[in-house]
């Protein structure tokens, strides 16, 4: 039976950061028709009710129907250590991340954390994500098995490291290639799942391992490749000492076959002019992680300059270096970071980054991240007056965007009224 969801509707016909705010469309009394796991139609409520009289009605009143959030960069194994105190990147890895990731050799632990992570992500309105796992194939198996059980569109991959990590978290160039290839062949394209070749970052891979993963990507160019780039200044100095022959950080990836259109580069804060030019030239995507960048003191992402230049940019929580599972909180942080760079982001731009922008960064914008006929039916319903503080500000709003903005800045999981994944209601 088709389902007809009634409420306010928000969708996009383009990128408001580059093409203007008129690409964001709000229907005051709108509807979304869901049938067979896909969106069949989006339009005015009265019109769709008249043309689909047998559809099951879900009337959400004044609540907002939107595509589910798409999180472009997460570390699901760090779920249990989110919001740990007082470290910058390298100390964070040694003090919190590496000890926790050691535990993922145990399939039962990996399965437990995967289930917990997906519960938390969905509760906050996230219906698609791209995750780093650990070096253990068991961690990848747990992630994809849990996503598949829930019918989700999800991407992820085995994190590869063969140096500058504890012994229990190091693989080799050959095992990284072999394990990644086997996992890719097992999971990529199964149901709604996609594999991402995943060197953690240049300092934890030898040149031999980066070359092996570059070769694997060349064999499977339809896969994503995800890694980290220019997150902190002390990290960049470390990278230069490890790769003194490289022109810059990005050149390390490029020289080993790890730069391309299907590449997703987390953070990318302290970019050299040559790096910016090459990222734009290749069409590679950047994952902006604002809560992480402020929480561990990394710096301010140049959203205005990069978006004006035409960069492909998605938004990400960076769980658990990021301090929240919520894409609403992540949008709020992106707004605050942009304010520090003297460019306030409009609510339409923020919402696009958290949905269609992230889907574009992950090369799945033809499938999720927007409300349009033919898209997969991953939807969320937002209460725009979910708390007393938000409700009192919402009541004074003179426009839809003014009504939405308090939820972006102050909203949390209480704002998520309903979730649909693959056309199936979750609540």
In Å, how far from its chain's centre is CA 320?
A: 13
Instruction: Give one DSSP letter per residue of 398-424, joined into a string.
Output: SSHHHHHHHHHHH--GGGEEEEEETTE
Question: Tokens 């002390």, residue?
Answer: 234
CA distance 332 to 219: 39
Which pLDDT score is estimated for 94? 86
Q: Tell me the pLDDT tens digit for each residue of 357-397.
A: 999 999 999 999 999 999 999 999 999 999 999 999 999 99
Cα–Cα dist 153/188, whole Å: 11
Instruction: Delimit the domains of the chain by residue range.
Output: 3-68+369-425, 69-361
Tell the CATH topology of 69-361.
TIM Barrel (3.20.20)
Q: What is the DSSP string of 184-240?
A: HHHHTTSTTEEEEEEE--GGGS-HHHHHHHHHHHHH-TTSEEEEEES--HHHHHHHH
Residue 191: the pLDDT is 96
Residues 3-68+369-425: name the CATH superfamily: Urease, subunit C, domain 1 (2.30.40.10)
Tokens at 157, concatenated: 């991959």
Which residue stretches of the chain have pLDDT < 70? none
Q: Tell me, what's the pLDDT at 427?
A: 78
Task: Read off the pLDDT of residues 89-135 as tens digits, 9 standing for 90 and up.
Answer: 788 888 999 999 999 999 999 999 999 999 999 999 999 999 999 99
What pLDDT is recorded for position 89? 78
């Amino acid at each position: 039976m088709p389902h007809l969801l009634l409420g306010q509707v928000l969708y996009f016909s383009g990128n408001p950061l580059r093409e203007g705010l008129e690409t964001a469309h709000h229907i005051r009394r709108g509807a979304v028709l869901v049938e067979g796991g896909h969106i069949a139609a989006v339009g005015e409520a009265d019109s769709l009710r008249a043309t689909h009289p047998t559809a099951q009605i879900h009337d959400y009143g004044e609540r907002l129907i939107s595509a589910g959030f798409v999180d472009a960069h997460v570390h699901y194994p760090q779920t249990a250590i989110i919001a740990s105190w007082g470290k910058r990147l390298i100390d964070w890895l040694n003090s919190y991340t590496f000890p926790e990731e050691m535990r993922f050799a145990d399939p039962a632990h990996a399965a437990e954390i995967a289930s917990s992570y997906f519960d938390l992500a969905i509760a906050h309105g996230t219906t698609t994500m791209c995750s780093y796992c650990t070096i253990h194939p068991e961690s990848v198996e747990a992630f994809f098995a849990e996503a598949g059980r829930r019918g989700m569109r999800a991407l992820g991959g085995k994190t590869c490291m063969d140096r500058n990590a504890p012994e229990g978290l190091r693989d080799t160039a050959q095992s990284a290639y072999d394990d990644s290839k086997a996992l890719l062949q097992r999971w990529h394209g199964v149901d709604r799942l996609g594999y991402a070749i995943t060197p953690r970052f240049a300092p934890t891979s030898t040149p031999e391992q980066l070359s092996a993963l570059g070769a694997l990507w060349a064999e499977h160019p339809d896969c994503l490749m995800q890694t980290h780039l220019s997150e902190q200044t002390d990290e960049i100095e470390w990278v230069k000492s490890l790769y003194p022959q490289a022109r810059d950080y990005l050149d390390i990836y490029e020289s080993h076959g790890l730069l391309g259109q299907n590449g997703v580069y987390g953070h990318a804060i302290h970019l050299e002019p040559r790096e910016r030019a090459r990222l734009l030239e290749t069409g590679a995507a950047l994952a902006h992680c604002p809560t992480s960048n402020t929480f561990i003191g990394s710096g301010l992402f140049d959203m205005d300059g990069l978006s004006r230049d035409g960069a492909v940019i998605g938004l990400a929580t960076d769980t658990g270096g990021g301090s929240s599972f919520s894409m609403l909180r992540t949008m709020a942080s992106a707004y605050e970071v942009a304010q520090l760079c003297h460019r306030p982001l409009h609510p339409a731009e923020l919402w696009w980054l958290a949905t269609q922008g992230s889907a574009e960064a992950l090369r799945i914008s033809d499938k999720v991240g927007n409300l349009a006929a033919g898209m997969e039916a991953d939807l969320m319903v937002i209460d725009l007056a979910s708390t007393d503080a938000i409700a009192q500000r919402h009541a004074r709003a003179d426009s839809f965007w003014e009504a939405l903005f308090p939820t972006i800045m102050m909203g949390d999981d209480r704002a998520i009224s309903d979730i649909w994944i693959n056309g199936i209601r979750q609540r």
